[in-house]
Amino acid sequence: MKGQMNIQATRRRFGSADYLKISIFGAGLSLFWASLHALILPQRVETLVPAASKNAYLGLITFAGLIVAMLVQPFAGALSDRSTLRWGQRRPFILLGTVLGLIVLPGIGISGSFLALFIAYCGLQLSFNIAQAPFQAFIPDMVPENRHGNASGVKSFAEAASVIILLRTMARLMEGQPGNPETWLTGALVWLGALVSVAMLATLFLVREGRPEPRLHPPLGTALAKAFTIDFKARRDFLWFLGSRLLILMALGTVQTYAFFYLRDVVKVSAPAAATSDFVVAAGAGMLVSIYGAARASDRIGRKPVLIASGVLGIAAVTLLLWATDYQVVVASSAMLGISAGSFLSTNWALATDLVPKGEEARYLGLTNVASAGGGALSRLVGPGIDYMNGRSEGLGYTAMLWLVGFYFVAGTGLMIMLRSKTQSAETSSEASTAP
């Protein structure tokens, strides 16, 4: 009873500054993965594999790494949910995973073969996802339930803002040393490692976790064996949630993964790293416009209408991108995708925090990574198809890729319609207002 009162008191004391405190680590990780996937990894892969197969190899390495992420998060989340450490349920895992990731990070730069790069990248996914699964439970742990949309909006806004503000700096660093790849690569990795370290330390010192509610837990072996179990009959909305998240993130992941090669080979830009950063920054700007307002709106009108609207806008953006021939139109399409992504990601995450059961917050939010990392991993599988079709007709593979992205948006939007029209947020809001 004392533990329950402690956690409730933590939620009642949750103030405006606390929204930012629990979002710092997510912002650092978002910038790290955006820089690695959009700028660093494509160029590292291209230096180690035949040019004609670069998309296939890029798809392979990111697919494998994201499968690692998908497997790690539910286990790390289950361990975190059971933690009774005095320092907190979440922060010890954030420290452990980040330190392991920083140890592995230099491997991206010193790898002299594709196999070595493959191992280093998978090691990064394993390490940082040990930290990410517990971090994701901050919102259901600490935020009043009727403000999950607000908290998810701040979290998503901070993540998008970090990418917009700093990704262009990374691109300039890379473009500034075209004849000296060792210099730009070392600088980029040191820069990213430092930023993640700062984000981790800020989280450790600024976030104050309440004591967990006392619960009876099954034996550790049983808990880990059931890390991937979901009662879909009782939690049918969680099934539709996972399906829609999987498909929409497959769409977004496909565009992000192959944007560098698409802009260089189809749009024919002269500075592909800078153009890719412009593409990503335009999408990020669109996300900033929509993230917070969409999440707040979902607290008021429900998650479902906002999610469906975001899917429709994504379909329109891909349609425009499919027929675009001018670089400025491509960037405008990216901004539309960003608005769609921002609305979807913040509202979808608010829905996730609504649906997780008490006492299993980190595990269930880790299970969302089956859709998150799974969507990212599956999006990489189109690489060999792109290479094959490009070999038959220049640019044909990228055209087919965009049609596939459009299909993902249509199917993902369709699954959103399967959600109950009455949101979990509306139900829990009334419960929160009557809580002692």
Total domains, the chain: 1
Using the predicted structure, report yes or no on whether residue 219 has a pLDDT greater than 60: no
Cβ–Cβ < 8 Å for 234, 136:
no
Q: Report residue 92 as tokens.
A: 């010890």
Q: CB count, 10 Å around CB of 116?
A: 14
Mean pLDDT is lowest, of 44-48, 176-180, 212-216, 355-359, for 176-180
Identify which has the larger pLDDT, 417 or 94: 94
Cβ–Cβ < 8 Å for 299, 150:
yes
Q: Residue 408: CB partners within 8 Å, gap ≥ 6?
A: 247, 248, 250, 251, 254
CATH of the domain at 298: 1.20.1250.20
Within a domain: 429: no
Tell me what the pLDDT averaged over the chain comes to: 80
Residue with tokens 């009959």: 233
Instruction: Of 230-239, 262-271, 409-418, give the range with the top mean pLDDT.
Output: 409-418
pLDDT (tens digit, 9 = 90+) per residue, 145-184? 778 888 888 888 888 788 777 776 776 666 655 445 556 6
Within a domain: 203: yes
Cβ–Cβ < 8 Å for 418, 407:
no
pTM for the whole structure: 0.70
Cβ–Cβ < 8 Å for 286, 410:
no
Domain of residue 273, residue span: 2-212+229-420
Identify which has the larger pLDDT, 221 or 54: 54
Q: Report residue 408 as tokens.
A: 């993902």
The per-residue pLDDT for 227 is 59
Using the predicted structure, report yes or no on whether residue 405 has a pLDDT greater than 60: yes
The per-residue pLDDT for 431 is 39
State the DSSP code for 381.
Answer: G
Within a domain: 431: no
Containing 206, the helix (H) or strand (E) segment is: helix 181-206
Within a domain: 293: yes
Identify which has the larger pLDDT, 231 or 4: 231
Region 261-272: mean pLDDT is: 77
Residue 411's pLDDT band (cuts 50, 70, 90): very high
The per-residue pLDDT for 1 is 42
pLDDT (tens digit, 9 = 90+) per residue, 316-366? 999 888 887 677 888 888 899 999 998 998 888 888 888 877 767 777 777
The per-residue pLDDT for 214 is 53
Cβ–Cβ < 8 Å for 321, 283:
no
The per-residue pLDDT for 104 is 95
The per-residue pLDDT for 316 is 93
DSSP secondary structure, 30-82, as one string: HHHHHHIIIIIHHHHHHTTS-GGGHHHHHHHHHHHHHHHHHHHHHHHHHHHHH
Within a domain: 195: yes
Using the predicted structure, report yes or no on whether residue 394 has a pLDDT greater than 90: no
Identify which has the larger pLDDT, 98 or 181: 98
Residue 56's pLDDT band (cuts 50, 70, 90): confident
Within a domain: 126: yes
Query: Is 112 exposed, middle or buried (CB count within 10 Å of its CB: 0-12, 13-18, 19+)?
Result: exposed
Within a domain: 134: yes
Region 298-308: mean pLDDT is: 87
Q: Residue 218: CB partners within 8 Å, gap ≥ 6?
A: 226
The per-residue pLDDT for 231 is 66
The per-residue pLDDT for 108 is 92
The per-residue pLDDT for 409 is 94
Residue 2's pLDDT band (cuts 50, 70, 90): very low
Residue 424's pLDDT band (cuts 50, 70, 90): very low
Region 121-129: mean pLDDT is: 95
The per-residue pLDDT for 433 is 34
Within a domain: 430: no
Mean pLDDT is lowest, of 126-130, 286-290, 368-372, for 368-372
